[in-house]
Structure 1
Amino acid sequence: MQISNWSRALVVMVLGAIALPSLALGTAKPTFKTIPPQLSSPEMLSAIAPHGAEFGEISGLISRNHLLAEIRDNGKSDPLSEDFVPTNYGGAYNILFMTVDIDIDPKTGILNEVVRIDLQRNKSKYDELSFLMPEFEVTEVTDGMGTPLTFETKFGYIYVTPAAELAEDDFYTVIVRATGKPDCDGGMLVACSFGKKISYVTHAHYFPRNPDFDLFKAELRITVPESLTVAATGRFVESFPVVSTANAEGVDPESRQEDTAESPTEEPSSEPPTEQVPEVAKTTFVFSHDYETQLLSFAIAEYSVFHDDSTFPPINAYLISEHASNSSNILELARNILDFYGSIYSPFPFGNLDVVEIGNSFGGGYGPQATIMMMSNVFGLSPNIPWFSSLVQLMSHEIAHQWWGNFVTISKSSAVSLSEGLAEFSSAYHYAKEYDSRSNFVENGLSYMYTVPKEADYAIGSGLLAASSNYQQIAYDKASVVFDMLRYELGDEAFFAGMQLYTDLFGYAVADMYDFLDAMEGASGRDLGWFFEQWILTPGFPDLSVHTEVSSIGNGKFSFVVKVKQDESTMQLTLPIRVTLEGSETPVDLEPMQIMGPESTKEYVLDGFPARMSTDPERIMLQRTYSARQGDLNLNGIADGNDLIDMAVMFHRNIVAEYNGNQYFWPNGSYLPRFDITGDGKINEDDLAFLLNEFSY
């Protein structure tokens, strides 16, 4: 899933001197490889806007799937709409309810857990039950009556033999006792951490799970030293004090001899008396998961808890002392985002929302059920700080996951963009309304188009996308733009009616891409098969070469012919056209062009000579436009002084930035590829020199 904490703001392109492609004049189409940055320098951090590394609901499961990586690395074909999660033939059951009881030492990260799994058999031909199990030491497995069961652990699974053969639809209970430390290497991020201030576990690699990743209701009980507070997914129920005598060696205190004094009837022992284990004051926190989920996440710290119960849902903020003074800003922002999404989608689907501060090692944000967890640094941002918008972006993405990924859960890996892509669309759309700026959409499109090589591209509906090294740029960035293109295609009213129908049909359930398509077609009354095929099931985007011709037709009017050719694609899209006439500073929006096939032509009649033309001026479409006529950068049909003026305006609007001798990709929303004549990611003196070569008076 998400790879780095600040990658949306700045991504390392090459560690050292960059070798940029040598391209023909006017046809520059560079692709930059991205490498996650190591941003530890205070100067670097102050030079960029932090943007969170959001993480989706099935990511921890898919990213650990070795078969997906093998398929990808061996270059095997990608059946775009199929799900490539391998079938495990030992599951054969559905989890109905799970009770996870944990005693944890945050200093060491050692968990002692008792997990009760209430399940129902759905296949009778298997004589054992298998569970995905972390590399913990399983000390005992029993049934619900306490009868010991035979079990075996191997290759990350625990195989349990029931006391009696189970028939199909039989109910059964398995209780697993285990101890160990979670594997904090989540594949693409730090899935857990045990620190001095904050400890957290975000993903499910600490308790036994169904290999088929089904949804279940649960109760999570976490016991910690009494000075600490636990925040977790679900709904907080209660906390109560307990006394524990667990020792550092992990020996079951109940197995210890209560009285170490010698019995008068026994022979004196030559062994020293067993050391009495001191009692430790602890607190148990209980969280109920009233709605089905896949994930039980938690964080532990000396939190201060702040509340906003002014309206539904109640919001709780779990903050460490350094950020307690910012609690009102955090709560107000969360409330505003909830209200916004409630107005365009559906009412908030859970009974509460907890906003939880976790360690910076996580590298961004995470949005499991009824909870959002974000890295500590962003909790210090307030409205009077320039980077506050970065907190807005990160929080709005994670809150969007309450709808996309939790309320509606994706049913297979090929639908991952319905979680991450819709969350990123929601965040960018909220940002556009809040700041009157489409910069997030534009930068997301640039990130995808300029960092994903064509040979490594996947469709956003691909079953292999979750294993791609370009997962973020496709599942987040491209998908968010594609959903916004669908909004433009349908119009706001029909699009958001479709989103509401989608939640009506699949709320508290699972859905895939075809379910989403059915909802959007049902609400709009339109056949969207072409859009689905082109943008969901097919990788890539069009490069457009634009040629214009202008001629006087008398009475002060001009014929303006626009010809658009596609490079290596025959995609269909609606291309907005805007012109500014000589002597006017007010641009005019013309009828959009319908781009169909390799070449499309449309003639306009203008009331004056065109000084400049813009294709897709609001940057809605996922496409790159170049001028077919060298020097005609403003697309008005001739290379003239207006091109020189526009080059001056575009000067140094680059998507490549230098820092400490290295060069980085920077998703600069003001960059226009047709002004980057040399194709090096920079609009600079070299491009000006080429333009002057073509300039005619």
Structure 2
Amino acid sequence: MMRGGVRVAFAVACGVASVSLSMAAERTVHYNVRLDVDPEARVIEVQNRITVNGTDSLALRFADWLDVEEVAVDGAPANLDRRRGGGVVSLPRADRQIVSLTLSGDIPEIMTSGLDGAVLFGNSGWFPIAQAEELSYELRVTVPHPYQAVSSGRLSEETETASSSSATFIANFALEPPSVFIGPYSVAERDKSEIRLRTYFHEDIHEFSDQYLAKSEAYLNRFSTEIGRYPYQDFHVVSSPLPVGLGFVNLAYVGRMIVPLPFMQGRSLAHEVLHNWWGNGVFVDYREGNWAEGLTTYMADYALAADEGPEAAKQMRLDWLRDFAALPPEREMPVIEFRSKRHDASQIVGYNKVAFLFHMLKGEIGDEVFAGSLQKFWTDHKFSHADWSDLRHSFEAVSGRDLGWFFDQWLERKGAPEIQLSMAKVQRGSSAYVSEFTIRQTGSIYSLNIPIEIETKDGLVNENVRLSEREQTFEIQSDIKPLRLSVDPAFDVFRRLLPGESPAIIRDVTLEPAVDVLLLSEQGTFAEAAQRLLARLLGNDTVATPISEHEKIEKTTVVLGRSAAIKEFAEENGLKLPPLDDTGNTAAAWVTRLKNDLPVMLISARDGDALSALVRSLPHYGRQSYVSYAGNKAIERGTWPIETNPLEITFPH
């Protein structure tokens, strides 16, 4: 059957093995797939076999853009009852049978990118799938030259002809259909014992292959040592024509524009490699929340920062706390409710707060016990679903401690504790100096392990105190007279930052669910650029209300205008200007606060083109107080200095 438009011709034959006689959900399904793809013509042909046992019907899910061309059971013509999202094949009996299916349809344009190739995501419906708890497959993909194809699963065979290349991928255990990536790739490979490392890069970025292979090998070695043996036999890094960074089983799919950037080869690549343990090795039971993103952030992103030294690790923890300080209370959620990243607010909870949770847990039980607990968790739950309670049980088993109090307070409650240093004094005892201080916590009462630092002329005295009540007074002795006392000086406790600890940052504005917008420049190209920038900065779920220049600022506000107009507005309203060198600047953005503590974001630009240059990159500077641009390049950035620390006191000499 052919119609007008771009066509996909599909021949599918599929099989179910180890099928329960009573429930389809207990089946183990095996698919033998032959897939031919011509990306330029956007034509697909698939042949697949499904072996069915113990049922008189087979329900398949597949995309509505596919038409059914042919159905057969054991080689004899059969019928498929087409339904929304798939169809049902009636079978003549309930013993072992083979179902063959041929489909065709128009491939959606979103799945192709012209000469750059195509991507067939497993959840897009291109692959007809029966209901089952798990599946296995053997997938052979054939594409014309100059294209190469890669998929999740073990690469078992490759062949070449004068006009095409074929590759076969095998998965003995999978929870979802395979995703297939096709492009005019140059392939580079490094063998590491039993692991095949490859890059599939477009020719213009092929020079980065060696760097990615070396980095991938280093991360695989690192996590194999820390957790347990890498669970797959291949790892591929594939460049995408789309501006994405996605992780799949034994595969990372990375936008070709960001492949050359250092951050991608660092924490981002490490993050995707580690997901082969957490998320694609131990699977997330989403009914009970998502622990994998935060644990991956902690063991990849944060661990690499810690490798740089204590200050880099401290800065990342402080960044997480500043992000949370910018999060309005109405956008907070308990950790247990986090499922996936939908916006910055969910990332602050599901990635940052959860990563911080693991940092505090390590401090609670010690480095060795923490590492042993994760190794046990991996061994016990590899290739199975796990939830927060499974993690807790692993930590309790290795530590020999009841940690219910810890997980309950950090998973079930939203928000964070706030601690205050309400009193501190030092006095000479009979044999030592005694620092006496009182810490108070507001809101819900947490049990907190709080680091205390006492500075003397001979060095530092470091102790930890347990705060588990509304207010407690502690004493720490030192042989040398204390000069200064600091509470949680390195930000090791997840808590609400006090006003003196948290400068105004861009996220104070962009995370607000409702903001006012003041445009100081005339309509035209500048106003059009302002609308594009606001949509990118604030997101679709933010209510932005235009206000007049003469209206009083009564809530969080974004003010946009040409450079001279913004400077005049700031001076008239007593708003401080950032410490920027105006020479060569074409645009700048900064956040400050009014006397009533309302955050205001000012965005100045030379003209509409200069403002448009901010659309892509400015949202990535949410942790900064200010940033300036020359064209589309950020040339200066920073945060306002902290003038006083409310959790620190200097004693009289």
Q: Is the 8 A contact 1:444 1:480 kept in 2?
A: no
Corresponding residue of 1:354: 236
Q: 1:475-624 maps to which residues of 2 (within 5 A)?
A: 475-553=350-428, 558-581=433-456, 583=457, 586-589=459-462, 591-608=463-480, 610-624=482-496
Among 422, 426, 429, the residue aligned to 2:299: 426
Among 78, 91, 98, the residue aligned to 1:163: 91
Residue 400 (structure 1) aligned with residue 267 (structure 2): no
Give the AA of the match of 1:113: V
Q: 1:333-348 maps to which residues of 2 (within 5 A)?
A: 333-348=215-230
Among 42, 46, 58, the residue aligned to 1:113: 46
Matches of 1:565 and 1:221 in 2, distance apart? 64
| Bigger shift: residues 137-146 or 399-408 | 137-146
SS at 2:219 equivalent: helix
* Deviation of the 1:664 alpha carbon: 5.8
Among 233, 244, 247, the residue aligned to 1:363: 244
Corresponding residue of 1:324: 206
Matches of 1:109 and 1:580 in 2, distance apart? 69
SS at 1:325 equivalent: helix
If asked which structure has higher relative contact order (CA below 8 Å, sep 6+), I would say 1
Matches of 1:624 and 1:444 in 2, distance apart? 12
Give the AA of the match of 1:618: A
Superposed CA offset, 1:118-159 (max 9, x none): 4566xx7xx75433322322324635513344334444x213
Give the AA of the match of 1:543: E
* Deviation of the 1:391 alpha carbon: 2.1
Matches of 1:171 and 1:618 in 2, distance apart? 64
Give the AA of the match of 2:67: V
Corresponding residue of 1:104: 37
Q: 1:18-33 maps to which residues of 2 (within 5 A)?
A: none
* Deviation of the 1:464 alpha carbon: 5.7
Superposed CA offset, 1:647-696 (max 9, x none): xxxx99x998876568868465999xxxxxxxxx96369x78x9xxxxx9
SS at 1:367 equivalent: strand
Q: Is the 8 A contact 1:226 1:241 kept in 2?
A: no
Matches of 2:319 and 2:98 in 1, distance apart? 47
Matches of 2:119 and 2:319 in 1, distance apart? 29
Matches of 2:324 and 2:53 in 1, distance apart? 47
SS at 1:570 equivalent: coil
Q: Is the 8 A contact 2:452 2:487 kept in 1?
A: yes
* Deviation of the 1:348 alpha carbon: 1.1
Q: 1:651-690 maps to which residues of 2 (within 5 A)?
A: 660=604, 666=621, 668=623, 683=640
* Deviation of the 1:476 alpha carbon: 1.9
Matches of 2:142 and 2:183 in 1, distance apart? 13
Matches of 1:149 and 1:441 in 2, distance apart? 61
Residue 130 (structure 1) aligned with residue 59 (structure 2): yes
Residue 376 (structure 1) aligned with residue 250 (structure 2): no
SS at 1:422 equivalent: helix
Matches of 1:522 and 1:198 in 2, distance apart? 49
Q: Is the 8 A contact 1:459 1:465 kept in 2?
A: no
Give the AA of the match of 1:286: T
Give the AA of the match of 1:550: K
Matches of 1:147 and 1:538 in 2, distance apart? 59
Q: 1:399-478 maps to which residues of 2 (within 5 A)?
A: 399-418=273-292, 420-436=293-309, 437-438=312-313, 441-442=316-317, 445-446=320-321, 448-462=323-337, 470-478=345-353
Superposed CA offset, 1:92-120 (max 9, x none): 45342123333323236453434434456
Matches of 1:111 and 1:440 in 2, distance apart? 50
Matches of 1:176 and 1:114 in 2, distance apart? 8
SS at 2:178 equivalent: coil
Label 1:338 to 1:659 Cα distance change in 2 as closer, same or farther (>3 A).
Answer: farther
SS at 2:380 equivalent: helix
Among 133, 138, 142, the residue aligned to 1:219: 138
* Deviation of the 1:345 alpha carbon: 0.5
Matches of 1:208 and 1:327 in 2, distance apart? 31
Corresponding residue of 2:116: 197
* Deviation of the 1:305 alpha carbon: 1.5
Matches of 1:295 and 1:362 in 2, distance apart? 23
* Deviation of the 1:611 alpha carbon: 4.0
RMSD, aligned α-carbons: 3.8
Give the AA of the match of 1:597: E
Superposed CA offset, 1:328-379 (max 9, x none): 21111111111111111101111121222222x2422x22222222221333
Q: Is the 8 A contact 1:314 1:352 kept in 2?
A: yes
Gaps of 5+ in 2: 1-21, 502-578, 581-589, 593-600, 606-613, 627-637, 647-651
SS at 1:461 equivalent: helix
Matches of 1:141 and 1:416 in 2, distance apart? 41
Q: Which structure: greater strand fraction?
A: 2
Superposed CA offset, 1:168-197 (max 9, x none): xx6554433223356687xxxxxx552433
| Bigger shift: residues 234-243 or 503-512 | 234-243
Matches of 1:684 and 1:624 in 2, distance apart? 18
Label 1:97 to 1:538 Cα distance change in 2 as closer, same or farther (>3 A).
Answer: farther
Label 1:163 to 1:664 Cα distance change in 2 as closer, same or farther (>3 A).
Answer: closer
* Deviation of the 1:455 alpha carbon: 2.6
Gaps of 5+ in 1: 1-88, 186-191, 244-280, 382-387, 630-650, 672-680, 691-695
Q: Is the 8 A contact 1:95 1:117 kept in 2?
A: no
TM-score by length of 2: 0.69
TM-score by length of 1: 0.65
